[in-house]
Structure 1
């Protein structure tokens, strides 16, 4: 089965609770598969370090309900326990609606929910909050509560007294403790690669997790089991739930219907079969580390050899590459070091000039531009492969985007559509003359006027560069198309 850790709102400590549970299980030597609701990259990094396994995103906006079920089923099967960390508040979904919310995933996978409540400024009002969350949606089983940031024994007694009439299990009580707080910055938590004291933090969380939770209650509910959740769930049947209707939820539009990865072989283009492995360079270091494991899994299944390289530390690209994948990350924080690595920048620019296919998402786009102006206003030279520059701003660009390809690219044919996600504080200072995408935000629930359209992204030579992050799990035709171009580059190279 498994268990979902949800928050009554953002910032209540659901990530701390999740990590404390994972750390405790690791210290006991017990295997667990972790998942994350939504498009986030950083929380799954922490999950992966603790569990030794990739953590997978459960996001029906970027993929589909069927893919979420298959993904959860596939990856939980060979571990004793499964734990899902929610996103935002329990009922907060895309556009202020339900779609993609933690509650949506709980219904979809038939999983019980543990609700984390920030009790720092609460006493008897706690009961009203918990009671409201229990009864707002009868199809969501709020099975237990974790009380976080409890100030004292007296405070603890007041909170337990308030909950007593509700007869809901209190499965964890965590004290108010600054030592468990993970550092954050302009785009969320500081990634794992930048925290030298991470082992000590995890040891502390493990001790906290072993001491502060009711493991007799948790263990049987965390047990992943062998039962499948891939069958139709009444909560997501169009006849019983209008949220699955494309007219009420644009993420289910049949025009963007996905290819079933179980039939992956049917989607593989002929040039990819039986002609050797494609060497694909994956930019991976402290500056570039935003990749969905599903994307990398698909590339490997399609025959690519994934070759890691570091824009920060390598003097040249790896030899004999047929393509590049530059994910997102934090190039703005490492702009000086990226600029100082001039030999690699020059090598990369020359290789791209020969037509080497390259996918660049967000931070990758920033790196391939002419320059990057950082948070302090300093401008640094970058690769120069794109005729634009980027600069950091105070404004956060955040949200799901429906993208339509304005032209053929190495990833998408003209007119094709897919849902993606943006999360950045930088902007491109020169607009593309021939944009890659037309993008449209996810509509706000109940809003009558459609969201405005925006032109975005670069298709320059053999580069596909955009601020929009894409999850390919339900769309294997995208990496197939990309690797076909990589194969053609390999065949035409001297």
Structure 2
């Protein structure tokens, strides 16, 4: 696990560069992200060709986490897990619950700390020692010093290894190659970084001379062995629906685990682009509109009127649809873009969405449906998260979202027999029965012969 004392320490760029170095060494790495973040996984996907997924200790219990890692790492030689925030930072202040530390323990993954080193030397040993002693079972095995020279690394390494008994496996020099742009939901997406692969190659070229890859791989090989079966879901009878999955620059936030679960249950997933395709994939029986940045592409989405009309007719005809966050915004009548211009959207749901005054409903949620609908009977519960700046005039009131460990809740979600639409990003392994209900609904639609192409 590539972890750090805090956010902004360089975990993502170090993880991507290390993945590239492992590939150059002839290995097939599986790249995971701790926590619910989608954007870092987009970088992993672009670098590795196939990101392995998210590992989240709030969404999943210990056995499930280990099983999900085994599934994501099938046919791979090594798993690289990027931590979230600081190693011990949990879902609420004062707790480690849901932290990268929890994931490392659940999956028997040794931890390598990326420690910002600019302007410090021996004091870095105190930082590392604090992390080792705070939770001895965190299994901190190595350190990478970020933002220092070779000489500074040599001076600090002696103190860290002597005082902490932890290997310093290298350093990251100060270099413009390791800079990535940000926007309102974090880093810009991987698809927007010009020449990303070339930039990652440049990062890897630098680290090839400053990181001891053999020692890092040795730490992974020394990890405690776990006997666990890869996570799989049982098929839903003979169900074989075709589900259209939105997939382009505007819709790119989705959990790999959700897609694998739908496929395990019998669904055929077919990607399409709301930005460019004139219609849904032929024979589509259901629709999965995932999150992303539709507000950045509102004009182009509005320009594809043929697809908007077809989706509106398909949903009016009963096609089951899950629409999460950005997908929910797309189903509304109107959407304001970043410049304040308002554009027509699908119009399957009433109202408009505009930029709010700040970050809205940030963090983990426990979602309880008060009305029966696409995910099942009233009372069905799921875990997920919200993270958005845009607000809709009506965000649904068929469910209640509650923040864990905090006395805060709010109404959300339109939950109807053929529709689950709202801001929450839902994680299906937290309640596989909800995914089963979605697959069953799509299969019923298939058998009714009401496909909309």
Q: Normalized against structure 2, the TM-score is what?
A: 0.93
- CA distance in 1: counterparts of 2:161 and 2:51, whole angstroms: 39
- CA distance in 2: counterparts of 1:216 and 1:262, whole angstroms: 33
For the pair 1:342 / 2:298, whether they are aligned, the reply is no
The Cα of 1:479 is off from its aligned counterpart by 1.6
Name the counterpart of 2:403.
441
Name the counterpart of 1:264.
234
The Cα of 1:156 is off from its aligned counterpart by 3.6
- CA distance in 2: counterparts of 1:22 and 1:205, whole angstroms: 11
In structure 1, runs of 5+ residues without a counterpart are 232-259, 444-449
Pick the aligned partner of 1:14 from 7, 11, 23.
Answer: 11
- CA distance in 1: counterparts of 2:339 and 2:79, whole angstroms: 42
SS at match of 1:465: strand
Name the counterpart of 1:409.
373
Retained in 1: the 8 A contact 2:382–2:430? no
* RMSD value, Cα: 2.1
Retained in 1: the 8 A contact 2:169–2:211? yes
For the pair 1:37 / 2:34, whether they are aligned, the reply is yes
SS at match of 1:421: strand
Name the counterpart of 1:182.
180
Retained in 2: the 8 A contact 1:7–1:116? yes
Q: 1:157 to 1:492 in 2, by over 3 A?
A: closer
Name the counterpart of 2:220.
222
Retained in 1: the 8 A contact 2:20–2:204? yes
SS at match of 1:196: coil
Name the counterpart of 1:430.
394
Pick the aligned partner of 1:136 from 122, 125, 134.
Answer: 134
Name the counterpart of 2:259.
296
Retained in 2: the 8 A contact 1:408–1:414? yes
- CA distance in 2: counterparts of 1:63 and 1:127, whole angstroms: 34
Name the counterpart of 2:171.
173
Pick the aligned partner of 1:47 from 44, 54, 60.
Answer: 44
- CA distance in 1: counterparts of 2:321 and 2:69, whole angstroms: 30
SS at match of 2:166: coil
Pick the aligned partner of 1:365 from 303, 328, 346.
Answer: 328
In structure 2, runs of 5+ residues without a counterpart are none
Retained in 2: the 8 A contact 1:406–1:415? yes
- CA distance in 1: counterparts of 2:233 and 2:280, whole angstroms: 34
Retained in 1: the 8 A contact 2:312–2:347? yes
For the pair 1:193 / 2:191, whether they are aligned, the reply is yes
Retained in 1: the 8 A contact 2:110–2:220? no
SS at match of 1:473: helix
Q: What are the superposed Cα offsets for residues 285-334 of structure 1, whole Å, 9 maximum, x if unpaired?
A: 11001111111111111111111111000112222211100000010111
The Cα of 1:221 is off from its aligned counterpart by 2.1
The Cα of 1:264 is off from its aligned counterpart by 2.4
Matches within 5 A, 1:255-334: 264-265=234-235, 268=236, 273-274=237-238, 277-334=240-297
Name the counterpart of 2:446.
490
- CA distance in 2: counterparts of 1:101 and 1:7, whole angstroms: 12
- CA distance in 2: counterparts of 1:224 and 1:169, whole angstroms: 14
- CA distance in 2: counterparts of 1:303 and 1:224, whole angstroms: 38
Q: What are the superposed Cα offsets for residues 48-70 of structure 1, whole Å, 9 maximum, x if unpaired?
A: 22223332211121122221011
- CA distance in 2: counterparts of 1:309 and 1:345, whole angstroms: 13
For the pair 1:458 / 2:421, whether they are aligned, the reply is no
The Cα of 1:226 is off from its aligned counterpart by 9.8
For the pair 1:148 / 2:146, whether they are aligned, the reply is yes
- Decide which moves more: 27-36 or 17-26: 27-36
Retained in 2: the 8 A contact 1:422–1:467? yes
- CA distance in 2: counterparts of 1:441 and 1:395, whole angstroms: 18
The Cα of 1:263 is off from its aligned counterpart by 6.5
